Amino acid sequence: MSTAAVHSLWTTAADPISKFQAPKIEYGQLSPTLIVIGAALVGVLIEAFVPRKSRYYAQVFISVVALAAAFAAVVALAAGGYGTTKAHIAAMGALAVDGPSLFLQGTILLAGLLGVFTFAERRLDPEAHGNRVDSFAAQAASAPGSESEKAAVKAGFTTTEAFPLLLFAVGGMLVFPSANDLLTLFVALEVFSLPLYLLCALARRKRLMSQEASVKYFLLGAFASAFTLFGIALLYGYAGSVSYATIAQVVDGTVANVDPALANTMGNDALLLVGAAMIVMGLLFKVAAVPFHMWTPDVYQGAPTPVTGFMAAATKVAAFGALLRLLYVVLPGMRWDWRPVMWAVAIVTMLGGAIVAITQTDIKRLLAYSSIAHAGFILAGVIATTQNGVSSVLFYLAAYSFVTIGAFAVVTLVRDAGGEATHLSKWAGLGRRSPLAAAVFAVFLLAFAGIPLTSGFAGKFAVFKAAAEGGAIPLVVIGVISSAIAAFFYIRVIVLMFFSEPRPEGPTVAVPSPLTLTAIGVGVAVTLVLGVAPQYFLDLASQASVFVR
């Protein structure tokens, strides 16, 4: 190397200030995410410095305040026009602030808030050694059944880390649907996945099952992430950029050549097709679409039920948001390639989820398969590739997440000596013993089944309408058939609850604190309001359905 070259390197390195461009960050527009992540960090500090007795209260307080503040920030941004006229790409092209982002962020934040309520529930389990306990293990690190576990229980430990973990997960989920380049997408994916893996392992009861679920989720999640990452690499090779906008332009053929170093690979359609398929596969894993769904029943069953409810609702919202942006912003130019593939996925997902759910005997597994079938219904809306498709998916996600959290919250109430009584046979005659709880659960089941006057009907109608307008009539027909199959097992649970004789040693319905009651009450209220008067919310979703490019 010549001296001049060395000198040039030195001077370049030594004079960074004049060349360095400070990134322009729109803190105000990113405030929802920043608030949540900041609160999560504070939560970590609380774990380190606040006395054990006060941690629970401090964590619940900070979580609720942060999520509420973030939601307020989302509402303020939406009111300020960032969802419509002022929508743009912030943080140097990393994040999109637009209608779908804000709508989904609002939904995730509300789901997170209700999730915190169910996490914080401490009245369901009997007190252990004079200490109130929640659904989480006394000390996650102690081996199940070991002496150290007993000591931890006796000492009244609780895993208050669950709250910052939830906040981190929510933070990642907020970024996920608004990520505007592939790297941000991947980072967000990992940011929300890792806390969820941990949360799954924290069950107080049936800890081995919980840990098994966690490990499975982690292994398979890592496997899926690898695919996604590989797909990202291939797309970079194809487009020479990870930015959504640039990739879209290359796909459309409006930009031919970006990076001379990639001249050999750029524009190679094989890279595009394989890379896109692999990224999509990673997202389909998160939404639990067949055949990437097999973790769902095991994880839903093993995880602590409040975690299941939160995860089932929020993950689905975030992942479908990311999938929508990917398909509508990055890959609209190759929709003739991905549409048939997604058709196939939607069909096997709808049918697979509904059919396998029929023979389930555990209520949590049943709801897991139901969530798979719902992923299929939502995919039908995604495939529409119209603005109505986007708005119907947004509406469906909002409706679905409240029903899901509410339903799992009811599951936490039905208990016997061994904790939650999730085996379906134990639910026989619940309607005679606790008519209110059974009626509320019946409302949720009817919403899942898509019976009119519940949000499920409005949502299903919207996605099927969008799909039919998008030319996917056969998909709608299969969707309706799957709905009919699915209605069977939902109604079967209702029949079981109301028209079977109660078992003598059957479970009882615990009286929860106002926290869980709020979660369930909001769930019922939203389910009925969206079912009876959906128009306002459909309009809202419709206004929020334009992606910024």
Distance between CA 380 and CA 168 in Å, rounded?
30
Figure out which of the listed residues 219, 477, 511, 525 binds another protein, where binding follows CB under 8 A: 219
Q: Based on the shown chain and the rule CB under 8 A, indicate whether residue 487 belongs to the binding site for another protein.
A: no
Provide the CA 134 distance to its chain's centre, in angstroms.
23
Report the candidate in 78, 79, 83, 73 with the shortest Cα–Cα distance to residue 35. 73
Q: Based on the shown chain and the rule CB under 8 A, indicate whether residue 495 belongs to the binding site for another protein.
A: no
**Contact (CB, 8 A) for 101 and 549:** no
Q: Based on the shown chain and the rule CB under 8 A, indicate whether residue 350 belongs to the binding site for another protein.
A: no
| 541 residue type, one letter | A
Q: Based on the shown chain and the rule CB under 8 A, indicate whether residue 490 belongs to the binding site for another protein.
A: no
Dihedral angle at the C-alpha atoms of 417, 422, 428, 429, nearest 10 degrees? 70
Distance between CA 45 and CA 212 in Å, rounded?
29
Figure out which of the listed residues 82, 119, 227, 402 binds another protein, where binding follows CB under 8 A: 227
Q: Interacting stretch for another protein, rule CB under 8 A, among 11-19, 127-135, 152-160, 285-293?
A: 285-293
Q: How far is the CB of 322 from another protein (least distance, A)?
A: 17
Structure tokens belonging to residue 479? 């969707």
Figure out which of the listed residues 123, 132, 205, 216 binds another protein, where binding follows CB under 8 A: 216
Q: Based on the shown chain and the rule CB under 8 A, indicate whether residue 488 belongs to the binding site for another protein.
A: yes
Report the candidate in 185, 184, 210, 186 with the shortest Cα–Cα distance to residue 198. 210
Helix 535-543 and helix 99-119, axial crossing angle in degrees, nearest 10 = 120
Toward another protein, which CB reaches closer, 341 or 528? Answer: 341
Figure out which of the listed residues 247, 356, 379, 449 binds another protein, where binding follows CB under 8 A: 356
Q: How far is the CB of 261 from another protein (least distance, A)?
A: 26
Q: How far is the CB of 449 from another protein (least distance, A)?
A: 16
Q: Based on the shown chain and the rule CB under 8 A, indicate whether residue 491 belongs to the binding site for another protein.
A: no
Figure out which of the listed residues 10, 57, 223, 536 binds another protein, where binding follows CB under 8 A: 223
Distance between CA 74 and CA 481 in Å, rounded?
38
Q: Interacting stretch for another protein, rule CB under 8 A, among 75-83, 160-168, 336-344, 503-511?
A: 336-344
Figure out which of the listed residues 151, 155, 208, 270 binds another protein, where binding follows CB under 8 A: 270
Q: Bridge partners of 96?
A: 89
Q: How far is the CB of 359 from another protein (least distance, A)?
A: 4
Q: Interacting stretch for another protein, rule CB under 8 A, among 55-63, 338-346, 457-465, 512-520?
A: 338-346
**Contact (CB, 8 A) for 391 and 376:** no
Read off φ and ψ for residue 432, nearest 5 degrees. -80, -35
Say if residue 35 is exposed, middle or buried (CB neighbours under 10 Å; 0-12, 13-18, 19+).
buried
Q: Based on the shown chain and the rule CB under 8 A, indicate whether residue 377 belongs to the binding site for another protein.
A: no
Structure tokens belonging to residue 230? 């590989």
Dihedral angle at the C-alpha atoms of 371, 375, 376, 382, nearest 10 degrees? 160
Q: Based on the shown chain and the rule CB under 8 A, indicate whether residue 224 belongs to the binding site for another protein.
A: yes
Q: Interacting stretch for another protein, rule CB under 8 A, among 155-163, 192-200, 275-283, 510-518?
A: 275-283
- Before 304, cis peptide (omega within 30)? no
**Contact (CB, 8 A) for 241 and 275:** no
Determine the size of the site formed for another protein (CB under 8 A): 41
Figure out which of the listed residues 83, 240, 297, 512 binds another protein, where binding follows CB under 8 A: 297
Report the candidate in 438, 437, 451 with the shortest Cα–Cα distance to residue 527. 451
Q: Based on the shown chain and the rule CB under 8 A, indicate whether residue 477 belongs to the binding site for another protein.
A: no
Q: Based on the shown chain and the rule CB under 8 A, indicate whether residue 273 belongs to the binding site for another protein.
A: yes
Give the footprint of another protein on this chain (CB under 8 A): 215-216, 219-220, 223-224, 227, 269-270, 273-274, 276-278, 280-281, 284-285, 290-292, 294-295, 297-298, 336-338, 340-341, 344-345, 352, 355-360, 485, 488
